[in-house]
């Protein structure tokens, strides 16, 4: 879906590059059919791989029993083993109608993939990466899109440079941003949904809350966080510890509080990324079945890409985190902002921003943050360097590749 949105962006630039594209139309239906077929193809591949490995697949809902040994029951049949792994993932958080009247009239990111047509009018609620990605995709493909956030910026857990710039890029791209706002109610009308929103600037304490509505909404999408898929597992029977949100508590080796039961992935509530779950599962398998007793995943320096417009790449400590952990006097920041060469002749402009977070006299690079064209593909290589302990001097010794955006990281002064 993001790739389709990128095509839509490039269409705006074709005339600047000398192409007359004429009347171009977009078909959500065609894209959805091809996407769904591809996902079905992937599902078959994964199922075939399980079959080839002679892994028994049991379809159903598992829950732990009260048996002395760790045991799960599926469809009335009990299963036990020396090792039981919980990898049930997470799901989008939802609001109840008694919390926000009419909340159930909206959808989540799961429902986004079921949309049969492109909504003419969309409202996204949330400030995290899913909200940012959904808003970017819908807006770029032609849906008039509003994004409702509780504070003044999106991606507040990211480096402040990224948070501020992404908020600006959303607004520049045409997303209608409702800051310091919350949805108060949702009502269905014969022309679509009516979304009532309350806005209150915390800086203006004497100012009354503003109540406004967005009319004729085709798609209200809640992107307000995720919760673990642990509620139906009956893990209390196994005395497996969880936190207050239901995430399964594990140690550095993915062990739960009950011997023989392990957990990896989003259900643990840490670094909610598919590659993290895969890597943790592999490390656990090496420890349990290959005798590598020290095998565990290093959860530091995990790279993350947000498929915004333009994309974001980030790894390591933010500037704020580095100052808190190392002290301001031990932190050196290098940053730059420029217009990528692609946009040199386009009327549509988008900046590229970059930041290096360095610590100590040796200026070890502990954080790298960027937003701009190609930043999604740049990040992996820089992550290897940072994981190996690269310093600013190592970056400076590296010959630049010109003309690229990535060369800015090795020419910062």
Catalytic residues: 402
CB atoms within 10 A of CB 319: 19
What separation in angstroms does the CA of 348 have from each of 10, 246, 342?
A: 10, 46, 10
Q: 288: exposed, middle or buried (C-beta count within 10 Å: 0-12, 13-18, 19+)?
A: middle
Cα 26 to Cα 4, 12, 117, 143, 280: the distances in Å are 9, 14, 11, 12, 40
Give the span between the Cα atoms of 72 and 198, in whole angstroms: 46
For residue 359, what are the β-bridge partners?
A: 331, 364
Q: What is the CA radius of gyration of the chain?
A: 24
Report the distance separating Cα 306 and Cα 132, nearest Å. 8
Q: How far apart, in whole angstroms, are the C-alpha atoms of residue 115 and residue 141? A: 14
Cα-Cα-Cα-Cα dihedral sign, residues 159, 165, 166, 171: positive
- DSSP character at residue 252: T
Q: How far, CA to CA in Å, does 52 sit from each of 47, 219, 372?
A: 9, 42, 42
| Chain centre to alpha carbon of residue 100 | 25
CA distance 104 to 232: 21
CB 348 within 8 A of CB 328: no
């Amino acid at each position: 879906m993001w790739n389709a949105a990128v095509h839509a962006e490039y269409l705006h630039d074709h005339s600047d590059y000398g192409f007359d594209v004429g009347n171009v139309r977009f078909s959500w239906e065609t894209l959805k059919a091809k996407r769904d077929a591809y996902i079905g193809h992937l599902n078959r591949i994964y199922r075939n791989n399980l079959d080839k490995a002679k892994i028994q697949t049991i379809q159903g809902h598992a829950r732990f029993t009260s048996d002395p040994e760790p045991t799960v029951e599926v469809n009335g049949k009990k299963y036990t083993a020396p090792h039981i792994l919980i990898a049930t993932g997470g799901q989008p958080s939802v609001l109840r109608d008694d919390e926000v009247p009419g909340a159930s009239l909206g959808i989540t990111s799961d429902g986004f993939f079921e949309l049969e047509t492109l909504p003419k009018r969309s409202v996204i609620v949330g400030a995290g990466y899913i909200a940012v990605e959904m808003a970017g995709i819908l807006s770029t493909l032609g849906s008039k899109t509003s994004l409702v956030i509780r504070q003044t910026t999106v991606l507040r857990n990211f480096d402040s440079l990224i948070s501020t710039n992404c908020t600006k890029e959303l607004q520049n791209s045409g997303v209608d941003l409702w800051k310091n706002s919350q949805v108060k109610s949702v009502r269905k009308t014969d022309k679509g949904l009516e979304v009532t929103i309350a806005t209150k600037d915390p800086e203006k304490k004497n100012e009354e809350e503003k109540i406004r509505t967005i009319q004729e909404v085709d798609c209200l999408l809640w992107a307000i966080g995720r919760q673990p898929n642990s509620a139906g597992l009956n893990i209390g029977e196994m005395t497996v510890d969880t936190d207050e949100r239901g995430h399964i508590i594990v140690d550095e080796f993915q062990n739960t509080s009950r011997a023989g039961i392990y957990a990896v992935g989003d259900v643990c509530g840490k670094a909610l990324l598919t590659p993290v779950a895969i890597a943790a599962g592999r490390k656990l398998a090496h420890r349990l079945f290959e005798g590598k007793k020290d095998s565990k995943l290093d959860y530091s320096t995990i790279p993350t890409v947000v498929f915004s417009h333009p994309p974001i790449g980030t790894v390591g400590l933010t500037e704020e985190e580095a100052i808190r952990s190392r002290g301001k006097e031990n932190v050196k920041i290098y940053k730059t902002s420029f217009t990528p060469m692609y946009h040199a002749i386009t009327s549509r402009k988008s900046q590229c921003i970059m930041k290096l977070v360095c610590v100590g006299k040796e200026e070890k690079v502990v954080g790298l943050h960027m937003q701009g064209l190609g930043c999604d593909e740049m990040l992996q290589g820089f992550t290897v360097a940072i994981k190996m302990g690269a310093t600013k001097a190592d970056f400076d010794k590296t010959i630049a590749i010109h003309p690229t955006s990535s060369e800015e990281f090795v020419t910062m002064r």
